[in-house]
């Protein structure tokens, strides 16, 4: 994708990644500029007529009953940004910061925020020039949206805070100057329009969900390698079985597994004389489990896509015209900033991806455990006893999964009232997004461990070859980590194979049939 044009539309995970990771150019459609101008005209009229409207000429949250004079409206918005920039912890990645800029710009492009064109123009300019605000990842409760993270983004918009530019961390104003951009002086409503919303949780959780969707594809690949190495059968993936229980993810996963194993000499070598009736669940039930994870992640992707094309600030500006052409627009206060839809979705994804790791670890154990690994050497060691082989790799996987199990406890059920009780029910969606990101990172390591062990196991079946797809994946493993001939430090191997998973080096071998 060379150019992504924003019109306030829903954005797919692929489009979010295109702007965030691939840095495609971002533009705004002409209708979006026109809608924005109309909503801004209504805000200007309200200010000129002296009407009292929340967020335009009042305080915020518990202070909403305090009227602010017209002379102080610009200062009110600047104060809001500064006072809410209280985030702590590590900065979000540049990709996550870019996703936040993209999603916030798309909110303004819907035309319900009442901002001037120069605010949206600067967000787009920052994206295209690579000015990435330094945004601490902790401090949001997910209502009134992601206030603290978005405030740190808005600081750079007004020439304050910090930003990364060309790999260097510097003052926000300096980053804008080097990029040939100018900060804006916020006017009525504009600070609030930048701060209210769910763009931090949507950015972090959306990018994590995209990684998870690729990961479940790769789990099919790793599982097929393990099944072949363990002399298992793909009979349980027969499409007739899955048409009898036609969950879309299950059907897709079964077909994928069949395609991955097509042409395996290892499979053919034991087809006629295998005495085993059924494989263990971690092998036989891959379509049911992996497929269910696919279904969860498809649902989560849909939630993120809808949220990306939603107006999530407050109040919303509706510049409607009466039948006679006169302006009868409305500015309405509501709660679209509440992160519940995303919060529930990310908790759901966390549970599913954690369970994906669980079934993966059971396959790792079957490859290593001499009591059940179909005649393979204990722990896949060329010299069991003198060498421990991959013993520690399974232990590391167990440790990572235990942490995932703790992290998969839902954050969405743990509301803590804030803002003097005005915000008395919050989503904790940012916590859910951060947990999901960490879980996905751990599971990338666990699936990498299975790939590493399965590759070693297949090599013990030589001279027989596995299928073309699985031999291709094995070659990728060997391009990253060498065969284990004698004991060595495995931590570097595990991180290297996880980095290869993250970088998509296996993707061409696990494409859908």
> CB neighbours of 48 closer than 8 A, spacing ≥ 6?
none
Cβ–Cβ < 8 Å for 65, 58: yes
CA separation, residue 342 to residues 161, 200, 202, 269, 306 (Å)? 28, 11, 7, 49, 10
Cβ–Cβ < 8 Å for 230, 458: no
> CB neighbours of 78 closer than 8 A, spacing ≥ 6?
158, 185, 186, 191
CA dihedral 72, 73, 78, 79 (to 10 degrees): 60
Residue whose C-alpha is closest to residue 308's, from 197, 142, 460? 197
Each as own residue / partner, the long-range contacts of residues 361-364 (CB below 8 Å, 24 or more positions apart, any chain) are: 361/394, 361/397, 361/398, 361/401, 361/446, 362/280, 362/281, 362/282, 363/222, 363/223, 363/226, 363/282, 363/283, 363/450, 363/454, 364/226, 364/393, 364/394, 364/397, 364/446, 364/449, 364/450, 364/453
Q: Residue 84, exposed/middle/buried by CB under 10 A (0-12, 13-18, 19+)?
A: buried
The answer for 468, left when phi > 0, alpha when psi is -120 to 50, beta otherwise, is alpha
Assess whether 165 carries a catalytic annotation.
no
Cβ–Cβ < 8 Å for 32, 7: yes
The full length of the chain comes to: 513
CA dihedral 227, 490, 351, 13 (to 10 degrees): -90
First to last CA, the chain: 24
Name the catalytic one among 54, 165, 344, 348: 54
Is the omega angle on the peptide bond into residue 144 within 30 degrees of 0, that is, cis?
Answer: yes
- Backbone Cα Rg of the chain: 26
Q: At what angle do helices 491-502 and 429-459 cross, to 10 degrees?
A: 110
Secondary structure of residue 373 in the 3-state scheme: coil
Cβ–Cβ < 8 Å for 357, 442: yes
At which residue do the structure tokens 């002409």 appear? 30
Q: DSSP letter for 370, please.
A: T
Residues classed as catalytic: 54
């Amino acid at each position: 994708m060379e150019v992504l044009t924003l019109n306030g539309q829903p954005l797919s995970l692929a489009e979010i990644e295109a702007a965030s990771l691939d840095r495609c150019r971002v533009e705004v459609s002409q209708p979006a500029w026109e809608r924005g101008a109309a909503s801004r005209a209504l805000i200007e009229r309200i200010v000129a007529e002296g009407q009292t409207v929340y967020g335009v000429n009042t305080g915020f949250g518990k202070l909403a009953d305090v009227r602010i004079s017209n002379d102080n409206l610009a200062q009110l918005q600047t104060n809001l940004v500064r006072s809410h920039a209280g985030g702590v912890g590590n900065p979000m990645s540049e990709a996550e910061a870019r996703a936040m800029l993209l999603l916030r710009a798309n909110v303004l492009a819907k035309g319900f925020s009442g901002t001037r064109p120069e605010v949206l123009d600067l967000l787009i300019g920052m994206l295209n020039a690579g000015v990435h605000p330094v945004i601490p990842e902790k401090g949001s409760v997910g209502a009134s949206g992601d206030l603290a993270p978005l405030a740190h983004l808005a600081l750079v918009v007004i020439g304050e805070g910090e930003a990364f530019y060309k790999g260097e961390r510097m003052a926000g104003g300096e980053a804008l100057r080097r990029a040939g951009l100018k900060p804006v002086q916020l006017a009525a409503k504009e600070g609030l329009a930048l701060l209210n919303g769910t763009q931090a949780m949507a950015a972090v959780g959306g990018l994590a969900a995209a990684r998870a969707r690729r990961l479940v594809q790769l789990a099919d690949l790793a599982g097929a390698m393990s099944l072949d190495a363990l002399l298992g059968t793909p009979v349980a993936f027969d499409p007739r079985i899955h048409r009898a229980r036609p969950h879309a993810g299950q059907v897709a996963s079964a077909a994928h597994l069949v395609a991955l194993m097509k042409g395996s000499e290892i499979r053919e070598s034991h087809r006629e004389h295998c005495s085993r009736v059924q494989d263990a669940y971690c092998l036989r039930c891959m379509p049911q489990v992996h497929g269910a994870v696919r279904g969860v992640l498809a649902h989560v992707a849909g939630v993120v896509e809808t949220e990306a094309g939603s107006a999530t600030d407050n109040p919303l500006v509706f510049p409607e015209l009466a039948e006679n052409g006169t302006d009868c627009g409305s500015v309405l206060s509501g709660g679209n900033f509440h992160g519940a839809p995303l919060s529930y979705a990310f908790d759901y994804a966390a549970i599913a991806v954690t369970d994906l790791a669980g079934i993966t670890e059971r396959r790792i154990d079957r490859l290593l455990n001499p009591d059940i690994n179909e005649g393979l050497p204990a722990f896949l060691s060329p010299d069991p006893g003198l060498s421990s082989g991959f013993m520690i790799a399974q232990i590391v996987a167990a440790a990572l999964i235990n942490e995932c199990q703790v992290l998969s406890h839902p954050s969405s059920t743990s509301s803590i009232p804030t803002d003097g009780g005005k915000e008395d029910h919050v989503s904790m969606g940012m916590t859910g997004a951060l947990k999901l990101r960490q879980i996905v990172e751990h599971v990338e390591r666990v699936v990498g461990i299975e790939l590493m062990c399965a590759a070693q196991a297949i090599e013990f079946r030589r001279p027989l070859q596995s299928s073309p797809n699985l031999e291709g994946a094995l070659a990728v493993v060997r391009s990253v980590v060498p065969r284990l001939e004698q004991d060595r430090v495995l931590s570097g191997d595990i991180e290297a194979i996880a980095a290869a998973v993250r970088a998509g080096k296996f993707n061409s071998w696990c494409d859908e049939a």
